[in-house]
Structure 1
């Protein structure tokens, strides 16, 4: 049981065996007010008294505190629970109100604050009477009586003033005393001056720990006494989204403990979320993981779309506002198959989702046009347009010049599978494949062939003769003719002209110009004959000198010459005796003249003799020798030689060895030469040529490679034994370097309009280098063909030059004009001149002439003849009406003339008077198909309306046609086009005599007009 007293002590109490409840009931008899204010009294721990039990009692007497042993049956008193939880105290001395309060607060809780009348009665009962009474914790503040401990204003119901109080009798009576054990107004209050001295009345209340509002919650407390002391009660609730964990109400117990632990506000949580597959989840959790008000946003990775809410929130009920969304794959539509191609996708059609790829390829001969692969994008669209397979195209071909082409195109024009075959016209041969095809890669199986004019081999110039080809610009093509002639004193042996045939062969062997020979001369008595050539070679321009013996004089020419006619230039002279004295001077001169040519006749012998003499004077042919004073290893010796001279000595023959042994001084160590073992083979280092067996010059028992690595060679100069012989040695040994320097000549350059070919046995343009010079076609070499670099460092002659071949100068023909081009000089090789005649004049001869490489014009210069000079008697029919070119092909050919001219060109009408001796002119031409011949009319002229723009002059008989055909074909330069054909026909017609025509008019059969075969045998103009 808890008892409240002014002082606290331990008492040993005695109690009978009655229960505490019975004692309480007895003690409470006669005290009805107690029962009203204290419905329950605590008497023990278990509701019964023990024989010895500690009990708290009130004990309050002035003086020292004591702990008497009391008879528990008669002397204890218990008070109601209304004062449970605190004790009262008073001071043993008096003090002012402020001092009293400070003393209470220092030693206890505060000054007593009266809670009810029961407490007043209790205090009056237990407190001793003291003079001046007791200060209590009430004071006037801002005009209001206020409990100082709780700062609460005194309410009307709680007032306990004595009669006529408060009266503020002495002014400033702002503090309150309580009358304890006063005879009147016992337990009442009185206002007093605060500076008066009275006993302090304090209390100690049991305190509980201070509470604060829980996080995310609220607390509401009542403090009947003040602070968190006995009797304080606190209720709790939580903010939205939180729930209370613990009791919703706690109170401060009498023992200073809370009735239960302070509750907490615990966040309401929803079930944990797991990030859906192929999605991204981002949660905002202000109060902890997945707690109230947590919001989670959902998005999908690329290629997926969200199905459901994009955001869900945890509600105050602990449930999510929406279901978790799902991410479903974005699909692209199926792709169409491509013609001539294939599709290979990473997934089947129904699974063509984001990032799926489809590869495209084409069949053979087709190429992909567009992207080679497509990818399903995040938008559900393919990354590009579906590609297509386009057939591989080859470059377009055209018919070769002078040939025809026929192609098949199974897929498309000049595309994969296209095959083209080629053939050439007469006089041309195919260069390349006869048939080519377009491959799968879009390339032709081979290059397009060309029709190459059939060429005959170049004709060699003939000694003492000339070649004149009909058209040198055609480069010896089919049908070209070349005329041969000989110089003065020579006669042609063989065909006088050759023609290049369709087989590429000349029509005959090249003829030769044989010298015209004169007969042998008879010896003369008492004289001598000295001819430039032996008897069997006494040809044109050969000369024979005549002289007589001593005492005879020559009668006649002193020399005769063989002329171009094969006759000597005069009669043989004779020697007549005149008894003249001897001519010793003459004899001496004759001997000298005979000796000098004999010496000079052998240049090789003379050179050898000269070189031998030079060697005897300490020089050698073409180079000089040098040696080093210092010794060095092989590599440094070679470097020294190449930097200062040409190279190390390379021994050429035994004579050179003897010469070196003679002129080079003897040294303590010998000399390195340019011979070394490379890849196991003894090699001359300068020329990289291996040492041949015949050139070896080793000392006895050498090479022996005695020390291994003896890969370099020395020469014994002036050694007691093996003089001039070789020995293999270690390349690191030090010896003297033996070098040579070759004589060099100035560099030669290629001739203008020519070619140069040089050989250099000892280095570029050095001793024994030789250069051959040739000139291009149309140019003549002036000077020696070959030059050689001599041992003296000079060329054997002057550098030649190439001089252009020149033709005779041409002049403008009368009544005409001439226009020339001269690439290399006036009227020289490749000069070309075109001729034209004034109006009213006709050209007789070729319209163009060229200066050939031989210095001759390809044709005679043409002339311009007046039209009236052309005899009409020889023409059977000639009528020209302007028009454009056309082609006439007839199966039966009996032509005489076919002339097709442009409208800007014209020829006069030539009547048929006297032409065919009574033959009536007949004309024929092509029908509308252009493939057959049909008669047009039986009179002499063709109307322009019959075949618009064309006139075909057709008349004649078979024999006349054949005659013209042979004449045109025999021309040096056959006609190459319609205009040349017309000119050739007119010229050849003019060359036929009337008598020839009379003899030919025997056959009367007439045929359709056709095209005369001309150059190349073509029947198409």
Structure 2
């Protein structure tokens, strides 16, 4: 491709004479292109200001298409030839996304054959070097690539696409080239603009084959589909559908139609089938009939016909055994059944047996007949009964009969009236044999066991005949020097038991004595039994006096004549009184005290603790000593300290600390200079655990402005009708020079003049 010389325009530093010279050169180039046909062009554009990668891409997307997506090595060589040298180089449209180098404009992963890295690149120093620059006119690696941190400032290298929505007839992928594009056609299409579709040609059909086709792109061409079916009585042998492929060939050969025939059906179990005589498959429309053996009924179609595709009009039926009614299980019966053809169906048999204590009434076995009925009615189980019982004389009887009066499992309980006792079992049960477990009991007058006087005592009873009947009362007593151990009287109850066991007479004893503290004890009863009449004397050691009776005696009542004495010495003088200074709770803390003798007196103890957010400085407990002083100084509560905050510029911080700098309760607020955004929390507080509630924030980088762009136009945009040059073009350029100084550009960056090898410096407003 022919390339034209380049020129650089600097609107701020060059004079009007230079501008006029550039206009004359443009006029000459445009005149040469007046008679050429207008074509779409791939154009390059570079900015004369440097920005981070994200800002550079926004600039390219706003005024052009995107950061440049390099197609091949020739394009790289061309860019290195025509783009001016810049010491910090240019950003291109490659970035690491999901750990893969990707063309951001097309969202395609960079292939190995398309890579153009400089030696030892990309090294990605694990420092977020995720964006790519191109070395334009580098002395050591011209046109090569290098990975860089995305926040570094470089000039953007942009492009404007030449491909349009209608390019390649929408049947191919438009591939950008320098000054033009080429079409990579989708499968099934060909031609410079992918305007032609591949054709497969018409199909020759065998006899009796019917066809329906659809042709979305032309008769019997790519994506055409044809479906096939047969005339009645014939079935398809081969594919049901063919498709015209991108290669211009059909997916298969057309099918054929063969006469329909059905395989003879098999007769059902417990039945038979009747079909026309044939030694092989039955012809189309042939019919077969089914029937079942005795005791079975047909489930399904009794007649079937050979239909389309060699299939019978219905599946073969089943012969199912006739169903008898479900048999209810008689009460208290066990049922065991055999079902050869299903539950309660033909030829099922059931046998019955009654539970223990019941008698079977009816047939012991039933069978399901071919009529669908059982051979007899179900039997019953009747409970076996025992001889009825009567209540005993002077007593009562209570019975429970779950299966009927005096029947099996009946239970009878017997009780006697007051003054009478049961002779015989308290309970009788009706057994499976129809007999009670024993003979019925009787009720006889109640008597209690005979009593006798205790040893060393006497007995006196109200029943002078000595029969000890119900209600009889007996009293016990002991001789002198003995006491009764147990109840003094008993009575015979209706149950034939005394209200208490007989008592005994035990010798009387007084409570055991011991020598007083600092004294001694001397008793006449050397065995230490302290019986009635025993005498004990008390004495004290030197320096102590006896307080109380000097001797005591055990009386017949089991008590000593006086309480035991004590030995007392001279009372000591009371100690002098001790007091410590009164204490108060520390600020932001609490105090609790215990005073065993007096408030803040000897051995008074005080404990201290601090509120949340404060810590104790000093002893946690003080005690008042004999010296009248506390064991330590009163402690204090100091606020918990947080770490000191150091802010990186340009973050501004304002803090309030009620208990000291960077201590509990301190709050700090943060903000950035105007135009800078705060990245993080706007406030933080020092907590009771000495930790800040949030991390320190930072300020984002300030807004970026794009001022100028250097543009290369790689194609011709000349019109066949010509361009009006001279005074009009000069006036536009002069107007642009005047507007440029006040931040405005009258020229639309998308409608610039372009020819081979022409560069323009343009100032554009980068704001959205």
Q: Which has the larger radius of gyration?
A: 1
TM-score by length of 1: 0.23
Structure with a larger share of its residues in helix: 1
TM-score by length of 2: 0.29
Higher relative contact order (CA 8 A, sep 6+): 2
